[in-house]
Amino acid sequence: MHNRSTQALLNVGHAIDHMFLLIFATAVTSIAAEFGLARWEDLMPYGVAAFFFFGLGSLPSGKLGDQWGRRPMMIVFFFGMGVSAILVSLTTSPIQIAFALALLGVFASIYHPVGIPMLVQGAARPGWIIGVNGLAGNLGLALAAVVTGFLVKYAGWRAAFAIPGVVSLACGVLFVLFATAESSPPAKKKASGHPIAGVTIAKLLFVMTLAATSGSLNFNFSTNANYELLMDRFQAISRDPAQIGLLLAFVYAAASLTQLVVGNLLDRYSLKWLYLAIIALQGVFLLLAMAADGWMFYAVQFLFMAAIFGAIPFTDAMIVRFVDDTMRSRVAGMRLTVSLGASSLAVWLIGPVVKQAGFTTLLGVMVAISAITFAVVSTLPRTPAPKAER
C-alpha cells in the first residue's frame, strides 16, 4: 500500500483529470461570444479533440506506466495538465483552442491507465479504494461546474483555465516530493498468476471495451451537456451562470456518493449483477428526464447522474479482479483507447443534435445507449462474490 500522501494526491489527480476536461463545456457560451460565434453549439465540436486524444493517448500511457513506471508518468500528468490548461487560456480563436484542448487531452489520457492501477496496487479492499477514487473524480466534475461558473462570471473564462492550471503545477511539485518511490516498473516484477481461472484476457477485454464504450458515451453526453441542459430546462426559474453552476455542482457532488456505495458492494457481492442493476436504473431515470422540467427535472437529473456515476467503478474493478498487476496499465490503456476514443464522438454530436432536434432527443439517445450497455454487460462471465473467493 502507498502512503497517505500518495493516495491523497492520486485522488486529487482524478479530480483534476475530470475537472479540466469539463471546463470548456461549462464555459463554452462565454468563449463562443468572445470568439464571435452566435451560438455555443457552433463552438462545441472544437472540444472533441480533447476527448479523442484522452482516449487515443491511453494506449501509450498504459504501456509507459507498466514499462517505465507509474510514478514518473504521474509526474508528467500533473505538470502536463497544468501547462496545457494555461495554454488554453491564451488562445484567441476556435482553431487555436481546438489544438490546445487536444494537448490537454493527451496529458489527461495518462491518469486512468496509470493512476488507478497505481492506487489499487496491493490494496486489501480494491472496491472501496476505487469507489473513493471515483468520488474524487466526480467531485472534479462538481468543481468544473461551480468553480468555472464563478470564475467565468467574476474573472472571465481565461481565468477558469489558468487558475486550475497553476493548482495542477503545484500538485506536481507535491507529488515529486511526497509520492512513494517504486522499486521497479510493474512489467519487470514477477506475475502472481491469473486472478480468476477460466477467463481469458481477450474475451474480458472485448466485453469490457464494449460495455465501457457505451457507458462512456452516456458519461460524455451527460457531463458535457448537463450545464446547457439544466439552463434549458430551468430557464423559467433562473439563467444566472453562477447559480446554474452551483446547482449542477450539487448534483455532481451528491450523485458521486453512489460510487462509495458501489465500491463497498463490489467487495461483497457479484460484480455482474450489481452492474446490471445500476444500468437498468440508469435507463429508467433517463426516460423520466425526457418529460421533466423545472425542479422536477433537477430531481431526476440527480437520479440519472447517480446511476451514470455508479456505473463508473465497474470497469476498473474488472481489471483488478481479472488482470495481474504486472500488466494492468496496458490492459486499461487498450480498453480506454477504444472506449474513450469512440465516446469522444459524443462531444462532437452534442452541438449538432441539440441544435437540430433538441435536448429531449439527446436524452432519448442516452436511453438507447443504456439498453445497449445492459445487453453487453449481461454477457460478462459469472464469477463468485469476493467473500466466496476467499
Residue 209 placed within a domain: yes
Residue 59 placed within a domain: yes
Residue 188 placed within a domain: no
pLDDT at residue 1, rounded to an integer: 53
Residue 135 placed within a domain: yes
Residue 185 placed within a domain: no
Residue 325 placed within a domain: yes
Residue 160, pLDDT above cutoff 90? yes
Structure confidence by residue, pLDDT tens digits, 56-74? 899 999 999 999 999 999 9
Structure confidence by residue, pLDDT tens digits, 63-108? 999 999 999 999 999 999 999 999 999 999 999 999 999 999 999 9
CATH code for the domain of 229: 1.20.1250.20
Structure confidence by residue, pLDDT tens digits, 358-384? 888 889 999 999 999 899 888 877 766
Q: Which H or E run includes 232?
A: helix 201-233
**Residue 157's pLDDT band (cuts 50, 70, 90):** very high
The DSSP-derived string for 129-168 is HHHHHHHHHHHHHHHHHHHHHHHHHHT-HHHHHHHHHHHH
Residue 276 placed within a domain: yes
Residue 193, pLDDT above cutoff 70? no
Structure confidence by residue, pLDDT tens digits, 198-229? 556 677 778 888 888 888 888 888 888 888 88
| Whole-structure pTM value | 0.79
How many domains are there within the chain?
A: 1
Residue 102 placed within a domain: yes
**Residue 249's pLDDT band (cuts 50, 70, 90):** confident
Quote the domain boundaries for residue 236.
4-179+194-389
